Homo-oligomer: A and B are copies of this chain.
Amino acid sequence: MTGEHPKGDRPHEFELIKRFFAPLASDPGSLGLTDDATVYTPHDGHELVLTKDMLAADVHFFADDPPEAIAAKALRVNLSDLAAKGAVPTAYLLGLGLPDDWSEDWLERFCSGLSGDQSAFNVVLVGGDTIRSGHGLQISVTAVGEVPTGKTVRRNGARAGDVLYVTGTIGDAAAGLKARLDHGFAKRMGLSDSQHRHILDRYLLPQPKVKLAGTIRDFASASMDISDGLLADAGHLAKASGIDLLLDLAAIPLSSALRALSKADEAIFHACLNGGDDYEILATVPADKAQAFEVAAKAIGCPVTRIGTVQAIKGEKGADRQAAVQLPTVHLQGPTGPIALNQFPGFRHF
């Protein structure tokens, strides 16, 4: 393609593929990345799940983050989508738009981050493209997963009476971003050094719940990953399933850092709770399977927390009372009664 080659004496695209990317492409279908395209044959009786997330420097990560962490984040945000669908990740394609000032050392570290995650999550690079972005670093990963045919878990299967669950803890990454942008944040909020490190780590490096995929497939009626904020994403699940969700604020699992934040500044705590970048799983499970789901999740080292229930649509009180159609809604129960969601920064009606 026109002008796609990096400038100067640095490796040409073909050398770059051979040196940096071919070692990551151990699947025979990818032919060592020497062909126009890759051949992919799903296992018998399986359907594919495809997802694609793009990340841009200084929008989704900081350009001076460790290259290993940037690579891992780009891959993991996609693996999180697959896990929420009950899919086992198998392969990915990598689109890399390099800034003009890329260096071989940087790229080596980036590929080392990919290599580590390929081992950790049992996926392999099968294709992609490397270009000059003309500006900052741009990354586009397309991830491929497999599910036994017909077993992909969608957002639209939640039914009244189901129990609502979440993995991990919520709000840490959003707090980490605040701490990253504002160096006085942790001290002002009274966070300890280890709490400070915890939230920074959670922003830098998502921990997708890949190992929960099979359990999600076995038990969940609906599932999605939390990337836009717990309340916003609960809204998306409610809308797709045509149901209401009743969440209990006190039940939402928090790290010690977020518990400290909730005492220091309620507005900031609320902003973090719906801040996004959690990459946890939000899932509904029929009530008669709930106990078994909790046990199975704990057994594989990925405990889940019951944070609410699914209800038939009853609409919102107040302004919506006059609406002719009652829309799927998220209700949040606080310690002293219902909390209006519009007080959560970032919450949008849908």
A149 touches B56 (CB 8 A): no
B59→A37 contact, CB < 8 A: no
- Cβ-defined partner of A132 (8 Å) among B35, B56, B129, B147: B56
**A32 nearest in chain B by CB position:** B240
Q: Which residues of B contact A84 (CB under 8 A)?
A: 36
Bound-complex Cα distance A47 to B149 (A): 16
**Which one of A38-46, A187-195, A298-306, A315-323 contacts B?**
A38-46
Which of the segments A103-111, A116-124, A133-141 contacts the partner chain?
A: A133-141
User: Are B58 and A93 in contact (CB-based, < 8 A)?
Assistant: no
Q: Is the CB of A37 within 8 A of B2?
A: no
Whether a CB of chain B sits under 8 angstroms from the CB of A128 is: yes
Question: Which of A95, A126, A225 gathers the greatest number of chain B CB atoms within 10 Å?
Answer: A95
Q: Flag whether A263 is at the interface (Cβ < 8 A).
A: no
CB <8 Å contact, B37 and A97: no
Distance of A4 from chain B, by nearest CB (Å): 6
Q: How many residues of A contact B (CB 8 A)?
A: 74
CB distance from A10 to the nearest CB of B (A): 14
A343 to chain B, nearest CB (A): 19
Structural contact, B42 and A48, CB atoms closer than 8 A:
yes
Q: Given the known A-B contacts A2-B277, A54-B97, are A49 and B37 also in contact in the complex, defined by CB atoms under 8 Å? A: yes
CB-contact partner of A56 in B37, B57, B138, under 8 A: B138
Interface string of A148-169 (1 = CB under 8 A from B): 0100101110000000000000
Closest to A151 in B: B39
- Tell me whether A70 is interfacial, beta carbon within 8 Å: no
Q: How far is the CA of A104 from the CA of B227 in the complex (A)?
A: 25
Q: Taking the complex as formed, is A324 at the interface, i.e. its CB lies under 8 A from any CB of chain B?
A: no
User: Nearest B residue to A144 by beta-carbon distance?
Assistant: B50
CB-CB < 8 A to A136: which residues of B?
Answer: 134-135
Instruction: Please give, as numbers and ranges, the residues of chain B lying within 8 Å of A225 by CB-CB distance.
Output: 36
Q: Would A1 and B133 be within 8 Å (CB), given that A93-B52, A97-B56 are in contact?
A: no
Is the Cβ of A57 less than 8 Å from the Cβ of B134? yes
Is A247 interfacial (CB 8 A cutoff)?
A: no
Q: How far is the CB of A53 from chain B (nearest CB, A)?
A: 5
Question: Cβ of B39 and Cβ of A48 under 8 Å apart?
Answer: yes
User: CB-defined interface of A51-69 with B at 8 Å, one 1/0 digit per residue?
Assistant: 1111111111000000000
Cβ B81 vs Cβ A36 within 8 A: yes
> Which of these, B12, B35, B56, B224, contacts A35 with CB under 8 Å?
B224
Q: When chains A and B are docked, how far (Å) is the Cα of A145 from the Cα of B59?
A: 32
Q: Which residue of B lies closest to A77 (CB)?
A: B1
8 contacts between A and B (CB under 8 A): A4-B60, A34-B236, A35-B85, A35-B154, A50-B126, A50-B127, A54-B95, A54-B129
Chain A: residues with CB nearer than 8 A to chain B? Answer: 1-4, 12, 14, 31, 34-42, 47-60, 77, 81-82, 84-85, 87, 93-97, 126-136, 138, 140, 142, 144-145, 147, 149, 152, 154-156, 177, 224-225, 227-228, 236, 240, 276-277, 348, 350
10 nearest A-B pairs in the assembled complex, by CB-CB distance: A135-B135, A140-B140, A37-B51, A36-B81, A142-B142, A40-B48, A54-B95, A95-B140, A52-B93, A41-B47
